[in-house]
């Protein structure tokens, strides 16, 4: 949770790799809050963590307000295919919007 607390305050970091850190559903909830409020992170890797189905749903909800995330590596996180598909659609939309704006 400390990393998520730091990410909430950070305004310059654009990429973070949290892969293979033993993250679970609680961390997914904390990360969802980061996703809903952070405006600088463009790339996140959380592969090889056991976020589970519930964690995937929470991340999906956290991304509803996010307009800047361009890549989100969710490989081997045990989230549902539905959540992964929804998350990837948001990320794809963000990427297209950011490319159009530049």
Question: What local confidence, expressed as pLDDT, does residue 10 receive?
Answer: 86
Q: Alpha-carbon distance 86 to 100, whole Å?
A: 21
pTM: 0.89
Neighbours of 1 (CB within 10 A): 10
Question: What local confidence, expressed as pLDDT, does residue 3 receive?
Answer: 86
Question: What local confidence, expressed as pLDDT, does residue 99 receive?
Answer: 86
Helical H segments across the chain, by residue range: 2-9, 25-37, 52-62, 81-101
23-42: pLDDT as tens digits: 999 999 999 999 999 999 99
Sign of CA dihedral 102, 34, 47, 53: negative
């Amino acid at each position: 949770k400390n990393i998520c607390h730091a990410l909430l305050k950070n305004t310059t970091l654009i990429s973070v790799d949290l892969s293979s850190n033993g993250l679970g559903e609680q961390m997914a909830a904390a990360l969802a809050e980061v996703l809903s409020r952070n405006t600088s992170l463009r790339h996140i890797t959380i592969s090889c963590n056991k976020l589970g189905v519930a964690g995937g749903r929470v991340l999906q909800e956290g991304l509803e307000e996010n307009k800047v995330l361009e890549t989100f590596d969710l490989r081997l996180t045990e989230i549902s295919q539905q959540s992964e598909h929804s998350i990837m659609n948001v990320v794809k939309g963000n990427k297209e919007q950011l490319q159009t704006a530049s």
